[in-house]
């Protein structure tokens, strides 16, 4: 009886906390339409379902990412795909009009990033690390890093009021090893959200079922039917939980639950933003046990 009472009390406190807490504002910035979806889509769904605010940002319009289409026509397709993906994820989706394959860390785009983060009143900013095969990804990382401190400086991009405190900036997970491998400071269980994440990613039809399979030499393997495509995409995009990510899951969820988690997304704390304590991380990610 005592254990039952303790459990009910904990559930009640969690319920009350979820309704008393101010909404958390999360912005995920990538170089292309679909970058944010792939790296943080499951976590975004968790935030959105809990009543928090999430924005996906693509710094380019994606007008180079196809083997048959291109230019303005492709940009319109990818913008429409992003808007559909946003509906499926339950997030707002912004696509900037910079050319795909030509993204540079210019002062003008840095100010665009600063303004977006400020207008969203971001608590958490997610983006790529600057170690990547794609120049757009590397330059997107530089742009986010260069905005990390400037979002609180009043005289930079002064047409938008500065944030009162620096957000927590996080890197999304990648596989690159040099100069150092990704460090999963935070890991999120997305087992219950994985199916919806795949459905959201599938909205980027020109990428998931045309361009990326073509670059990988397996366009002939893409199924025709929607159900078959979703299964094929899930098999392709199912995350491989490394030992380091599993250990991070154990930290945040406890060993018993962590060992049962089938799908996860991980994040590394960027030193250029606010350095949160474990207690603050638990407040920013209110679905940890």
User: In whole angstroms, what is the distance from residue 143 CA to residue 138 CA?
Assistant: 9
pLDDT of residue 189: 98
Q: Does 281 fall in a domain?
A: no
Q: Do residues 27 and 69 lie in contact, with contact meaning Cβ atoms separated by under 8 Å?
A: no
Q: Does 74 fall in a domain?
A: yes
Q: Do residues 160 and 116 lie in contact, with contact meaning Cβ atoms separated by under 8 Å?
A: no
User: In whole angstroms, what is the distance from residue 219 CA to residue 72 CA?
Assistant: 24
Q: Going from the first residue of the chain to its last (289 residues), give the mean pLDDT of each consecutive group of 10, the final group possibly shorter.
A: 45 47 94 98 98 98 97 98 98 98 98 98 98 96 97 98 97 96 98 98 98 96 96 94 98 96 98 94 93
Question: How many independent structural domains does the chain possess?
Answer: 1
Q: Encoding tokens for residue 166?
A: 């620096």
* Pairing relationship of beta strands 264-269 and 186-189 according to DSSP bridges: antiparallel
pLDDT of residue 239: 87
pLDDT of residue 17: 46
Q: Does 78 fall in a domain?
A: yes
Scanning the structure block, which residue is given the tokens 């999963």? 184
Q: Domain containing 143: what range?
A: 23-173+184-274
Q: Does 14 fall in a domain?
A: no
Q: Does 283 fall in a domain?
A: no
Q: Does 119 fall in a domain?
A: yes
CATH code, domain carrying 38: 3.40.50.10320
Q: Does 2 fall in a domain?
A: no
Enumerate the H helices of 31-124 as residue ranges.
35-49, 71-89, 107-119
User: In whole angstroms, what is the distance from residue 192 CA to residue 212 CA?
Assistant: 26
Where is 230: in which H helix or E strand? helix 226-237
Strand partners for 161: none
Q: Does 145 fall in a domain?
A: yes
């Amino acid at each position: 009886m005592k254990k039952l009472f303790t459990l009910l009390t904990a559930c009640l406190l969690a319920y009350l906390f979820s309704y008393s807490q101010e909404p958390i504002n999360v912005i995920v910035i990538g170089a292309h339409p679909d970058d944010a979806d792939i790296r943080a889509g499951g976590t975004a769904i968790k935030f959105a379902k809990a009543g928090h605010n999430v924005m996906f940002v693509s710094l380019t319009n994606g007008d180079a990412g196809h083997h048959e289409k291109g230019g303005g026509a492709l940009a319109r397709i990818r913008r429409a795909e992003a808007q559909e993906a946003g509906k499926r994820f339950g997030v707002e989706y912004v696509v900037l009009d910079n050319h795909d394959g030509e993204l540079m860390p210019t002062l003008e785009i840095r100010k665009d990033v600063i303004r977006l983060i400020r207008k969203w009143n971001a608590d958490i900013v997610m983006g790529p690390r600057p170690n990547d095969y794609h120049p757009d990804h590397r330059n997107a990382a530089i742009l986010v890093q260069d905005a990390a401190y400037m979002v609180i400086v009043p005289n930079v991009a002064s047409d938008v009021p500065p944030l009162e405190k620096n957000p927590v900036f996080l890197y999304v997970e990648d596989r690159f090893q040099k100069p150092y491998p990704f460090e999963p400071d935070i890991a999120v269980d997305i087992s219950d959200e994985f199916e919806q994440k795949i459905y959201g990613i599938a909205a980027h039809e020109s990428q998931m079922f045309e361009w990326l399979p073509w670059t990988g030499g397996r366009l002939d393997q893409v199924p025709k039917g929607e159900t078959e495509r979703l299964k094929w995409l899930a098999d392709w995009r199912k995350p491989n939980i490394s030992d380091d990510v599993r250990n991070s899951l154990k930290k945040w969820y406890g060993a018993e639950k962590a060992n049962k988690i089938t799908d996860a997304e991980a994040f590394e704390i960027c030193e250029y933003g606010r350095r949160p304590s474990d207690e603050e991380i638990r407040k920013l990610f209110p679905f940890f046990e």
